[in-house]
Structure 1
């Protein structure tokens, strides 16, 4: 039976973007299932007392260089941050929950991440999100309306609360069973666990 890797992420997180560009290939190499699970990084920070790296001036100064280095290392397009970085990703994350519900989470997530971090697009803009939803095979108007329902809001909150309860303190966070891994740079350890019989 294939192992499952749960991938908790937030569309505002550039390190989640870097992870999103690697997890499907990892799944092919290991035969694992990847379960994409949007959550609210701001909610995680609040619940755990953690703070965004950008709130520390030294970390903020290093952040962009590190992201550019990682993008080059992975052979990805030149990394760009949106002008409104860090973005309020609440609407995008709710729409991600709708995409998951409709079996379109991978193409939707890749479209959102690439729009934000290779094109510098504003993912808080409903019109931009509608276009990304359409590109991922969703009906934009219906998907956006669904994303505003209490059911979807509650589902996103549950994802966030569950991740925190299991030990998450930032994004991306991965779980293989009860074992947690934090960060794009820990995917080698995720792969090792997924590859172990």
Structure 2
């Protein structure tokens, strides 16, 4: 599995904040297109790609939540709050474990709170944190910064002015850092 030769700063960014955004992973639009065979096929392809990538990396099999894709708005606010308290990486990893190893829905507030508790964030503090206007503003602002940097898809890693996106982003960014170019 590729790793970066430096410690990266994790910045929660909501995919919906990026342009152009095609809506493929927006829950409301997916429900509206539920009968569209092309859309259903595209989502199945996304799952197959994720499962294949997990196998390639030697990760455990993916357990999909019953509702996919989830509404991650609460999880993204919690990740933004987690960054403020120095737990962005721990929370993100715990949330992904809940979703893809546990098969739990990140659209469910309790799943978000379980992930938060796993990295020593008190549920009451998280609930208060995600309700703060400053946290909502920080998440929105992070999306704006990502968009201005040229980010169009997630995950993304910025090295200097260059943005690496998608499943190969870690390997590409690591190669760029190793070569000393940005």
TM-score norm. by structure 1 comes to 0.79
For residue 124 of structure 1, the aligned residue among 107, 119, 122 is 107
Look up the SS of the partner of 1:152 in the other structure.
Answer: helix
For residue 11 of structure 2, the aligned residue among 34, 37, 41 is 37
Deviation string for 1:44-71 (max 9, x for gaps)? 2xx3243427874443232222111111
CA RMSD of superposed structures (Å): 1.9
Say if 2:24 is the partner of 1:52: yes
For residue 182 of structure 1, the aligned residue among 143, 146, 165 is 165
Stretches (4+) displaced over 4 A = none
Unaligned runs of 5+ in 1: 1-21
Unaligned runs of 5+ in 2: 31-37
Look up the SS of the partner of 1:174 in the other structure.
Answer: strand
Asked if structure 1 preserves the Cα contact closer than 8 Å seen for 2:98 and 2:111, the reply is no
For the structure 1 residues 139 and 49, does the alpha-carbon distance in structure 2 shift closer, same or farther, using more than 3 Å as the test? closer
Partner of 2:83: 100
For the structure 1 residues 166 and 115, does the alpha-carbon distance in structure 2 shift closer, same or farther, using more than 3 Å as the test? same
Deviation string for 1:108-146 (max 9, x for gaps)? 110101111121101122222222111101112112211
For the structure 1 residues 33 and 56, does the alpha-carbon distance in structure 2 shift closer, same or farther, using more than 3 Å as the test? same
Partner of 1:149: 132
Say if 2:71 is the partner of 1:88: yes
Look up the SS of the partner of 2:157 in the other structure.
Answer: strand
Say if 2:121 is the partner of 1:138: yes
Q: Within 5 Å, which residues of 2 pair with 1:103-114?
A: 103-114=86-97
The CA distance in 2 between the partners of 1:57 and 1:124, in whole Å, is 20
TM-score norm. by structure 2 comes to 0.85
Asked if structure 1 preserves the Cα contact closer than 8 Å seen for 2:155 and 2:169, the reply is no
Structure of higher CA gyration radius: 2
Say if 2:176 is the partner of 1:193: yes
Partner of 2:151: 168
